[in-house]
Amino acid sequence: MDEELHERVREVVRALPEGSVATYGDVAAAAGAPTPRLVGRILAEDGQDLPWHRVLRADGTPAPHLATEQLARLRAEGVSSEGGRIPLGRFRHRPR
């Protein structure tokens, strides 16, 4: 299995600063994942100890089944969600 990829993804997500967010695409690019889908899969499997709530979809909306929890957590960090959506232009952070 791609243990390396898992580790890289975890590290990137772990490094996301509080009060900022990144898209699955950003994480995928930073971690070298072949497709953003894999990032979601990896987080579902191995993201329980990470700030996964700082990872959003490209349009600033979280995945449907997580939306409630995710938006609540972000709000608690000072990330203002407007109508279930995060203004990426303001909070987005691109990991290296």
List residues binding DNA (CB under 7 A). Answer: 1-2, 23-25, 34-41, 43-44, 47-48, 52-53, 55, 57-59, 63, 65-66
Classify 17 in phi/psi space as left (phi over 0), alpha (psi -120 to 50) or beta.
Answer: beta
Min CB(64)–DNA separation in Å = 7
Min CB(33)–DNA separation in Å = 8
Compute the distance between CA of residue 56 and CA of residue 36 in angstroms, rounded to an integer. 11
Min CB(46)–DNA separation in Å = 8
Nearer to DNA, 45 or 96 (CB): 45
Nearer to DNA, 44 or 78 (CB): 44
Question: Around Cβ 74, how many Cβ atoms within 10 Å?
Answer: 22
Nearer to DNA, 17 or 35 (CB): 35
Min CB(91)–DNA separation in Å = 15
Helices (H), the chain: 3-14, 24-31, 36-46, 67-76, 88-91
Q: Let me know: does 24 contact 39? Beta carbons within 8 Å.
A: yes
